[in-house]
Every structure is written in C-alpha cells, then in structure tokens.
A and B are shown apart, each in its own frame.
Chain A
Amino acid sequence: MTIYSFFIFDRHCNCIYNREFTQTSAAGVNNGLINKNNTSHSSKLLFGIIYSLKSLSAKLISENELTSFTLGQSFRFHFWESVTSYKFVVVTGYDVDDMQQVLVRLHQYFVDCVASNGLTPVEFKWSANGEKLDNVGYSVICNNSFVEETDQYLQSLSIY
C-alpha cells in the first residue's frame, strides 16, 4: 500500500498542483517533488484519460460519477470532482480500496488554504499555448500551508 502522487486539475484542464512522493522513511516536505511535472507528458495523458473515462461513464448510465480506475498491475487512480470542476486525483498502489473520503478531505484543505485565501488568484491563468506564466503564483498552487497540511494528512494515513 503506497501513495505515489497527488494531482489537482482546474476547469481549464491545467494541472494546478502536482505532488509526487518518494517513499523514504523520513517524513517531511522534502521527500518528493512539488509542482515539477505540471506540464509534463504524463500529467496531460492523465487528464486525457480522466476526461474520456468521465464522459464514457456518464454515457453508459446517466448521472454517474467516475470514482477510480486501475492501470496495469500496480497503479490505481482515485478520482473526485468538486462542483466547481476542480479534479482531485490520488495515485496509489493496486491494493488500496475506496478513497473518496480522503479526496473530499483534501478538497476541504483546498477550500481552507487556497479558495478562501484572498491572495490566491480567482482563476489560475496559463498562457494560451499551455505554458505556465512567469509569475508562478498565478499558474499553480504554491501555498506553503496547503502543501504542508495536505502532506501531513496524506502521510498520516495508514496506506501511505
């Protein structure tokens, strides 16, 4: 049981937060990458997969919500979307069951530290060609208290 990474996508399909954990014994902010792969190939592929699976599940049965999917023999992707179209994705090992409560809790941290924060932009802005802007604070979440609290929460889980 492992948590590999955590992504947030906004309603403009941009990855506004990306946290990758490296599994070391020392817990802390330094074990892994924060916002290093927002524009990478894999986060775009991930968004594409989620987008198609979401529309596919709504097509087969109406008013249906995607909750998780498995890739290969080792990765399970847990998904939850807020009504404001922020998409929360946590990548875990294959043997982790239902994570909806965890994702809702992460959204609560998001509301507390990011959405209610007057210094955060209303919309995370990216340039038209899909690049982050020079002023990073406008494109991704780099709010220390959000990073610390979500890290602390995820690392306190038994599945971490």
Chain B
Amino acid sequence: MLYSILILNKAGGLIYQNEVNPGLNKLSTNDYLVLAGSLHGIHAIGAQLAPNIGDKTVPASVEEFNRNQNSSIMSTFKAQSPNTNRSGLQNIETSLFNLYIFQTVTGLKFMLITAPNPAEHKGELNKQYDMAHELFRQLYMLYSDFVMKDPFYSLDMPIKNPLFDTKVRELVN
C-alpha cells in the first residue's frame, strides 16, 4: 500500500507532496520541507560513503578520473551529468514503512513511502523494489507530460497543476 508520493527539485526543495493513503503522522508543511532537505543531504552523503566500503577502486588522480570520464563519453556518446547520482541512498526499510528514492538524470528526485514488505513476501526482496521502480517510471512520464509541458509552470517551483494531480490519482488507484 502506498502512503505518500514526494517530488524534490535538484536543490532538495519539496515541490510536490501527495498523501495517497493515511498511515503516516500528520506533519506540517514545514516539517515536510525539513524532511525533504535531510533526505536530499543523506542521499548525497551516501554517495560519498558507498565507494569507501568494500571495493576501493577510487581513481588515483584527477587525470585518471578525467581519462575514465572521457573514455566513457567516447564509448557511449553520453555525457554524465554531475547530478546523476546513482550511488546515493536508494531505499530505507523500517518496521512500519519503506521509502524508495529515484533520481532522474536532471537531478529531480521522486520518493515513494509505502507500507513495509508483507510477511508472506519475506525473501522476495527485489519484487517490491521492482514494483516501486515501475511506479517511478509511470510518475516520471506523467511529470514529463503534464508538468514539463505546462507553459505556466516555472522550473523548480512547487507543482500546483490540477491535471497532474488527477493523473497521479488515476495512476495509484
């Protein structure tokens, strides 16, 4: 069961928040902003931490880093945006909810807060993860279609688009 959907802009500001089902504590708008900001920070710190644990293949010098970067651009014809952070925080599991994070190449973050894995699905860890990612894909499409194509929407500002709201509601129900 889905509790809540949040969208963060690339600076960590909360631009959309939709409580789909009740279950979470009632938080004030300000509390949600603080929550979004701290998750944005933790996501970034997580990227710093991940390479330091386990394998230690950190490039030795700036030259080597640049060389790797250049060869990846030459082979894939795709530039890596500095905002593309795939090593940050991906999900959180607690006893009463799960939280999933998806960051787009432009630095936008989608977050889903869901009920915890049901007991009968223990051991099917990645199933819920895949379901969350399917929902992220759908949400990203709705965002592209109904928010980015809205001529009155200014980038990085709160989303107050009733059509997007309706479509999100249709998607989750």
Partners in one complex: yes
Residues of A within 8 A of B (CB): 4-5, 40-42, 45-46, 48-49, 52-53, 56-57, 59-75, 91, 95-98
List, in ascending order, chain A residues with CB within 8 A of B74's CB.
Answer: none
Q: In this complex, what residue of A is CB-closest to B85?
A: A72
Partner of A75, one of B25, B54, B92: B54
- Specify which chain A residues have a CB less than 8 angstroms from the CB of B23 in the assembled complex: 61
Is B162 in contact with chain A by the CB < 8 A criterion? no
Q: How far is the CB of A103 from chain B (nearest CB, A)?
A: 13
Known: A5-B54, A56-B35, A68-B92. 8 other contacts (CB 8 A): A56-B38, A60-B24, A66-B92, A69-B90, A71-B90, A75-B54, A97-B123, A97-B125
Which chain A positions have C-beta within 8 A of B27? 59-60
Bound complex: CA of A52 vs CA of B38, how far in Å? 8
Give the residues in chain B near A5, CB-CB below 8 Å: 53-54
Interface size, B (range): 35 or more
Q: What is the chain A residue whose CB lies nearest that of B91?
A: A70
A-B contact pairs, 14 of them (CB 8 A): A5-B53, A41-B52, A42-B52, A42-B53, A49-B46, A60-B27, A67-B93, A71-B47, A71-B87, A73-B86, A75-B53, A91-B54, A95-B125, A97-B122
Q: Which residues of A contact B90 (CB under 8 A)?
A: 69-73
Please classify the interface of chain B as helix (H, G, I), strand (E, B), loop, or mixed, using the class held by over half of its residues: mixed
Contact B97 A61 (CB under 8 A): yes
Give every chain B residue within 8 A of A4 (Cβ-Cβ): 53-54
A5 CA / B86 CA spacing, docked (Å): 22
Assembled-state Cα–Cα distance A72/B35 (Å): 21
State in angstroms the CA–CA spacing of A59 and B113 once bound together.
13
With a 10 A CB-CB cut-off, give which of B41, B94, B123, B125 has the most chain A CB atoms: B94
Which of B25-57 touch A at CB < 8 Å?
25, 27, 31, 35, 38-39, 41-42, 45-50, 52-54
B71 in contact (CB, < 8 A): no
Residues of A contacting B45 in the complex (Cβ-Cβ under 8 angstroms): 45, 48-49
B93 adjacent to A59 (CB under 8 Å): no
Q: Which parts of B75-119 form the interface with A (CB within 8 Å)?
A: 86-97, 113
Query: With A45-B45, A97-B125 known to touch, is A61 a contact of B53 (CB < 8 Å)?
Result: no
Is A71 a contact of B94 with CB atoms below 8 Å?
no
